[in-house]
Each structure stands twice: as C-alpha cells, then as structure tokens.
Amino acid sequence: MPQAKSSLFEEFRTRLLELSYLESTLSVLGWDEQVYMPQKGALIRAKTTSYLAGLLHQKFTSGAFEKLLYRVQEASLAGKLNDQEKAIVREVWREFVREKKLPKKLVEELALLTSEAHTVWREARKKSDFKLFVPYLEKIFNLKQKEASLVGFTDSPYSALLDLYEPEAQTTSVAQILFDIRDFLVPFLKKIKGSKVKVDPRILRGNFPQARQEKFNREVARKIGFDFEAGRVDESTHPFTTGFHPHDVRITTRFDTRNLFYSLGSTIHEVGHALYEQGLASEFFGTPLAESISLGIHESQSRIWENQIGKGEPFWKFFYPALQKAFPKPFSKIALKDFYRAVNYVSPTLIRTESDEATYNLHIILRFEIEKGLLEGSLQVRDLPEIWNAKMKEYLGLDVTDAATGVLQDVHWSGGAIGYFPTYTLGNLYAAQFYKAAASDILNLEEEIAKGEFAHFLEWLRKNIHLHGKFYKAEELCRNLTGEGLNSKYFIDYITRKYSRIYQL
Ligand code: MG
C-alpha cells in the first residue's frame, strides 16, 4: 500500500529538523568562538566543528535522505502537496542538486586551500605585500572557475557563484543595475565635493564611556523591536548576527570610546539583521520557510534600519534628547540640525567598511568588476593592485598608497567567498525600494518614527518579508511589495533627495 502523503511529508520534516539541530549546534559553536572562547580552545573547537560539519554533510547527502527527497519531489510534481510544502521541497531540492554537483574532492581541496590562504592573507596584509598572496588567490580563482563550470550557468560563470548567496540572480542584470549606480554616483560625488556647505564631522568626537554606550544602545535596540527574551547582545572584533532559532538570535557589537557611532551604527545594523531572524516563522523551523531568502534581502533588513531609519531626521528627532542626556558633552551644545548633518557627512575613504552611504557602493562595484573579470579570464590576479588603484582613483578620486589599505583590505577572497560582495549593494538597493513601499503603505510613517513608534514599520517588514522565509524568491517578493523588480531608481532617488538637502545641491 502506498504511504499516505502526510506521513511521507512528516518523515521528511523530521529529517530536516535533525539537520537543523546540527546546524544550530554549529552556529552556537561559531558564535562562541568569536565571543567567548579562550585562545587555547581553538584546536579542539576546529576539530569539533569539522566533525559536526562532516556529519551534517553526510546526513544531507546520504542515500536514505536522497531517496526520501526524490519521493517528496515526486509527490510535489504530482500535485499532492500544498503550496508551502511545495516551496519547502523546491528549496531543499535546489540546495541538494547544487551540493551533488560538487565532488567531495573539490570541496575538501577548497576548504584546505582557503584555511591556508586566510593565514597567508593576514600575513600579506600585515606586511602590505600583495605578492605573498598571489599564488593563493590564483589557486582560489582556479578552483572557483572549476566550481562554476560544474554548477553550470547561462550568461557568465560568475552567476554560478553569485547563486550561492543570491539565488537565481543573473550576472548580466546585476551588472546593469550596478553600472547604473556607478554612473550616477561618480558625478554626484563631484557635486557634493563642490558644495559650499561645509559639514563638520569632528563635532561628533568626544569621550564616551563604554558602559554608558552599552546602555544607550540597548535602549535603542529595545525601542525598535529587538526581543531581549529571544536574543542577546555581546561584544566581538567584527560585529555579526547569528540565529539558532527565531527564539534565540545573537548579535555582537564593538566599542570605541572616542567614536559613538562605531558601536551605535553597527548595533542598529545588526539589530536589523536580528529582527529578520526573530521574525521568521518558528512553526516552520527546520525548513526553508524559516530561513532568509538571500544575503541581499538579509542585508536590506540591516540597511533599512541602519540608514533609512537610523540616519534619518525623524529617528533623531526622537532619540536626540536621550542622547544629549546620556552624553551632555559634547551634545548639549550641538543643535539637532548640525548633528544630523555630521552623522551623514560624505567623504570618500579607502576602506569599504568605513565608508558612508553615498560612497559605499562604489567599493562594491569595483570588487564586482574585478571578480567578474578574473572568473571570465579577462583579468589576471597579478595585475590586481594596478587595476584596483586605477579604479579607486577613477571612482572615488583617491590615491591608494599601500596594498593593506587597497587590494588586501577585505577577508572575503581569502575564504573563497567570490560572488558575495554584490549582495551588499543589492541589500542597499532593496532597502531603498522597500522603504519607499513601506512609506506609501503606512500613512504617517515618518511622523510615527519621530514619536518613537516603530511598531507599524516592523509589522510591515514582518508581514511582508520576515514571515515568508524562502516561500517567495527575491525577485518575486520584490514585485509583490513594490510592483516591480529590483532596480536602481529608488536608491538613486533616495540618495539624491537626502544629500541634495544636506549639501544644498
Ligand atoms: Mg550586514
């Protein structure tokens, strides 16, 4: 007798749950490694995580799981599943097919190479010597070319890699959007540079004791919706967010006692990521319906809170009095208007992670062009410093003086994360497009924010984005919410409007 559909699907969900328990465990260990683990714990931690990661891979690719997946896929194709179940099968199938295309040997080779490359990159950056890193980066791009051809692609090998972070994004259309942004930003920055308005970011300097910063950050996090009963804030060198389950989401931040925004900005950013994780549907835990759609959509959630909200006038209309009270020196003597301008000061910088909203995406576009060129074979690794420096000059008007603050600044390539960078810009663009839609759906959005009321906005994000998990694909979700696919128009409008006011262009 054929097995009833419900028990087949239940068995499938049980197997998926087991995989998620292992994934959660690995995430807890990864979080602990960056937050609390003592130095001497590194070796046993590496062994533990590699064993568990192997176990996870083994379970996911086992014959038993494959058989079960084929059976639910058959049930799905035969129209025996509901829409949510179909979406679950579709997404697990996607992941499984990709994993199956990569031989174990290639995966292991890449893991070994990138762990070595990471050490070499750190050394090379310390000495500002790109040549040390060249042979490793060449091998990484070689293996990544292999991976791309095994996975398969239609327009560019780059799409096969991008797909891992931004499912179904095509290089050709991403390139078009990025180049639109580039062609807008380069002349726009020249206009800002020529503005008679002088914004002074130095007024934000002061002495901000860490304990008082922590207290203020927590107030902001709570007010905008972070659930402290389903999450924690800790400290780490590089801020990040990790969710083990919607009921247990961790963020980290860092502190600089002279620069308040070093922590506050990154806290709001990570809270944005965390609100997404806390807003996923816990009843679907273990399935793709309780997972984020893509890195671009995830980043849109952090950016919309960090920039559209957290660097906006209404937000500071509400929070500025509390900030003045927490740090009377220097803020009691600074008018809100000057404070707002200083927060949004535009100045090209060599370092991506220190750049402002108006210049940030040029850093990404430069990396995208280089990655794409290397994969497609039109650029060579050894020529990178020259190419990098020329583009920095062209886009941001800056002279790169050494490799450490130039081509060697980011960790991504050493870890084999090729195709990752564009998701930062996609996130910025989605944020602008979503914010526009939210502002037209919510009657008095900015008046509410100015009163410290964030519930409607969060509810909008929850209902339209968070709760769906991977049910919709990114492009589909964007069309549902905004009436059109992702495009550069909204970001360009947002930047133009915001900075034309600040710099009186
Ligand atoms: Mg982020």
List pLDDT tens digits, range 7-46: 999 999 999 999 999 999 999 999 999 999 998 998 899 8
415: Cα separation from own chain's centroid:
16
How much is the pLDDT for 4? Answer: 54
303 CA distance to ligand 1 middle (Å): 8
Q: Cβ(199)–Cβ(193) under 8 Å?
A: no
Q: Which of 33, 36, 26, 359 is nearest to 192 (CA)?
A: 359
Residue entry with tokens 């870890």: 415
How much is the pLDDT for 104? Answer: 85
- Across the range 351-379, mean pLDDT stands at 97
pLDDT classification of 5: cutoffs 50, 70, 90: low
pLDDT tens track for 224-269: 999 999 999 999 989 999 999 999 999 999 999 999 999 999 999 9
Q: Cβ(449)–Cβ(308) under 8 Å?
A: no
204 CA distance to ligand 1 middle (Å): 24
Q: Cβ(317)–Cβ(451) under 8 Å?
A: no
pLDDT, greater one: 103 or 360: 360
271 CA distance to ligand 1 middle (Å): 10
Determine which of 60-64, 100-104, 352-356 has the lowest per-residue pLDDT on average.
100-104
Catalytic residue among 85, 91, 166, 270: 270
CB proximity list for 479: less than 8 A, separation 6 or greater: 485
69 CA distance to ligand 1 middle (Å): 33
273 CA distance to ligand 1 middle (Å): 7
Residue 2 has pLDDT above 70, yes or no: no
How much is the pLDDT for 490? Answer: 98
499 CA distance to ligand 1 middle (Å): 23
- Across the range 293-303, mean pLDDT stands at 98
Per-residue DSSP letters for 402-466? -GGGTTT--SGGGGT-TT-THHHHHHHHHHHHHHHHHHHHSTTHHHHHHTT--HHHHHHHHHHTG
Residue 61, SS3 per DSSP: coil
How much is the pLDDT for 111? Answer: 87
pLDDT classification of 1: cutoffs 50, 70, 90: very low
- Across the range 101-113, mean pLDDT stands at 90
269 CA distance to ligand 1 middle (Å): 7
- Pull the structure tokens for residue 140: 């990484």
270 CA distance to ligand 1 middle (Å): 7
366 CA distance to ligand 1 middle (Å): 19
Residue entry with tokens 């509410």: 448
Residue 226, SS3 per DSSP: coil
Residue 126 has pLDDT above 70, yes or no: yes
Residue 3 has pLDDT above 60, yes or no: no
Q: Which of 261, 262, 268 is nearest to 251 (CA)?
A: 268
Phi-psi region of 225 (alpha: psi -120 to 50; beta: other; left: phi over 0): left
How much is the pLDDT for 108? Answer: 87
Determine which of 108-117, 122-131, 313-322, 443-452 has the lowest per-residue pLDDT on average.
108-117
* Residue 55: Cβ within 10 Å count: 14
Residue 199 has pLDDT above 90, yes or no: yes
Burial of 351 (0-12, 13-18, 19+ CB in 10 A): exposed
CA distance 361 to 174: 13
378 CA distance to ligand 1 middle (Å): 30
- Across the range 352-376, mean pLDDT stands at 97
Preceding peptide of 239 cis, ω within 30°: no
Quote the mean pLDDT of the chain. Answer: 96
* Residue 130: Cβ within 10 Å count: 21
- Pull the structure tokens for residue 225: 């919706």
245 CA distance to ligand 1 middle (Å): 18
352 CA distance to ligand 1 middle (Å): 13
Specify whether 270 is catalytic.
yes
Residue 493 has pLDDT above 80, yes or no: yes
424 CA distance to ligand 1 middle (Å): 7
